[in-house]
Structure 1
Amino acid sequence: MDETMPRMTLSTAFTTLFGVRHPIALAPMGGSAGGALTAAVSRGGGLGLLGAGGGHPDLLARELPILADVEEPWGVGFQTWATELRAVDQVLEHHPAAVMFSFGDPSPFVDRVHEAGVAVLLQVTDLEEAGQAVDLGADVIVAQGTESGGHGALHGRSTLPFVPVVVDLVAPVPVLAAGGIADGRGVAAALALGAAGALIGTRFQATAEALVDPSVAEALVRGRGQDTERNRILDIARSSRWPSKYTARTLGHTYLDRWRGREAELAADPAAARKAYDADVERGAVPRSPVWAGEAVDLVTDRPPATALVSTLAAEAEAALARAAGR
């Protein structure tokens, strides 16, 4: 970016709502977005969201205290289908600025979060879910496209056409775009589509603070979007409890090649499938966990500190918007 050029201020309904500097949020990735990464993103001027998964009390007891000294706004994200009210209450005791729910019916939890004076983010994968999110009183709606890494809707839509339709449907509720965003140009595109910011996952997995094995970070840096695949095979083989309506996008994996097109056969005997998978893990034939990665993984080329990455993404977005405006 030309340092002589006046910098644009990326102020949106999202940045105003939370009092953050940049329209960037960390996707609450289970197993990756721990307390350290959440804190780093918030200190960098975005909204860090701790990945709580189903809300296991040991995980929350370990990661939430890391955020105790973070003065900037931060939040926690749950897998709604796996969450219980006790986990939400455990989080609320730590006074987050936001709680996010994804994948499932959030209605049992929304009022409890609002009663605590905390903002509710609801992730949606289709227009019916978007309408329900408005009815439930979501403070922010996250529109997730199928390019995203990790789990998403089996019959979802791509981010580019999905986000503006959601924006129009739910206005004036602010929308975050999610899926296939891994640099500042993607953030700029989200803003151009009418979103108030971007929720970013894969890019933040490859940062110094992410709770991932070094081999995972290396795989992300080497990864290519064309090598990602959305499927249920690895959930079946690992006896994951994820509902069948959600598939997961990962980098290539031996089990994908072995079982592609034969999911029903693999699912016919779940116990045997898990036993075989565990045996392959033990002998080193397959990694213990898949590498969740979105289609924009090509743009992941290093593993910087997350705080610096937030600033970089914001500066890139400003530059992209300035170019588009012909400045």
Structure 2
Amino acid sequence: MGLSTAFTELFGVEHPIALAPMGGTAGGALAGAVSRGGGFGLLGSGNGDQDWLARELPVLAEESDGKPWGIGFQTWAIDASVVSRALEHRPAAVMLSFGDPTLFVERVRGAGTALILQVTDLEEARRAVDLGADVIVAQGTEGGGHGARHGRSTLPFVPVVVDLAAPVPVLAAGGIADGRGVAAALALGASGALLGTRFQATTESLVDPATAKAIVEGRGEDTERNRVLDIARGSRWPSRYTARTLGHPFLDGWRGKEEELAADPRARQAYEDAAARGEIPALPQWASEAVDLIEDLPSAADLVGTMARQAEDALARAGRH
């Protein structure tokens, strides 16, 4: 049957499955494995740290086996020079998330590189269309990691963005962790799906083994959107973005008391000390509501093919009803 969409045709990939560019987790091996498996791997460059890119880009070039790949950034954390240096490596796409991408659009388009813009509300979606995005990622609040504090759920949000953005291809993101979720995204009119948490739990992920184990054992009801852990670890994430994580001792102790935590340097030092002693995870354990569906740690390359077959089967079953 195959799952050819506007997204797969744009990048010449086999499956409408993309890797979320998770900072510090989606390294060269993971992005390369997703591309090698027929999906679209996106290196998670975060704030564009040059040492990190220098380490991971050669790995990506080797592991992708000549297949297309891209680089993703947190828009609020970068400047134009970061994007310019990334473009020197000739990615097939640059993805910008969380913040106003206007400053970087012409630089990306001028390099002949596809521009992927992630949006978390309709205002951002309209701006992405106006800026000429080649692909738009519609992120729902079920997703793990950071997203809009006052965003919308994936199921109602994606088709609205699809209608608004047409004919620009849209990828669905947030709470998708298997082929059935990919099929649902396609049924909603999206051209594919972008997955994060599911790819954290793979052999190529840079995530700490304890976090991978926690994801495999986790439940969706154990996840929660919060700013507590960003404040506790001194992160500069803008307040409009919260993060969905698994449970955490600091979250239990400071839930609903974010302003008090921000004003208490002793509490933030206690967080750093506990992390240094290994009493708490060094980083929050970001996980989506779909974490229940994750039961193993496969190779990402194999996982892409498995999810594509699951999606084809799900769509075939739906067509028989």
Q: Does 1:296 align with 2:290?
A: yes
1:276 equivalent to 2:286? Answer no
- The residue aligned with 1:5 is none
- The answer to whether the aligner puts 1:285 opposite 2:288 as a matched pair is no
Which one of 103, 116, 120 corresponds to residue 98 of structure 2?
103
Contact preservation (8 Å) 2:261, 2:268: no
Q: Does the residue aligned with 1:309 lie in a helix, a strand or coil?
A: helix
C-alpha contact (below 8 Å) 1:49/1:75 kept by paired residues: yes
Structure 1: where are the runs of 5+ without partners?
1-7
Alignment partner of 1:122 is 2:114: no
CA RMSD of superposed structures (Å): 1.0
Structure 1 vs Structure 2: percent identity of aligned residues? 73
Q: CA deviation at 1:285?
A: 2.9
Alignment pair present for 1:23 and 2:16? yes
Aligned-pair CA distance for 1:280:
1.8
Instruction: Tell me, in whole angstroms, the C-alpha distance in 2 between the residues paired with 1:80 and 1:57.
Output: 16
**Residue 12 (structure 1) aligns with:** 5
For residues 108 and 118 of structure 2, what CA distance do their matches in structure 1 show? 15
Q: Distance in 2 between matches of 1:234 and 1:154?
A: 14
Task: Give 1:262's aligned amino acid.
Answer: K
Superposed displacement of residue 321, structure 1: 0.2
Residues paired across the two proteins, number: 319
Report whether the alignment pairs 1:199 with 2:194.
yes
* 8 A contact 1:22–1:46 mirrored in 2: yes
Q: Map Cα deviations across residues 17-66 of structure 1 (whole Å, 9 max, x no partner).
A: 00000000000001110000000000000000000001011111111111
State the AA in 2 paired with 1:300.
I
Q: Which residue of 1 aligns with 2:308?
A: 314
Given that 2:141 and 2:152 are in contact with CA atoms closer than 8 Å, whether structure 1 keeps it comes out as: yes
The answer to whether the 8 A contact 1:249-1:293 is kept is yes
Alignment counterpart, residue 90 of structure 1, candidates 85, 94, 116: 85
Q: Deviations over 1:81-139 (max 9, x none)?
A: 00111211121111110000000011111111111110000000000000000111100
Tell me which of 28, 44, 47 is aligned to 1:51.
44
Deviations 1:181-218 (A, max 9, x none): 00000000000000000000000000000001111111
SS state at 1:53 partner: coil
Q: How is 1:1-327 mapped onto 2 (pairs within 5 angstroms)?
A: 8-69=1-62, 70=64, 71-269=66-264, 271-326=265-320
Residues 68, 94 of structure 1: 8 Å contact kept: no
**Aligned partner letter, 2:84:** D
The alpha carbon displacement at 1:229 in A equals 0.4
Q: Determine if contact 2:32/2:61 at 8 Å carries over to the other structure.
A: no
TM-score norm. by structure 1 comes to 0.96
Q: What is the distance in 2 between the residues matched to 1:110 and 1:284?
A: 42
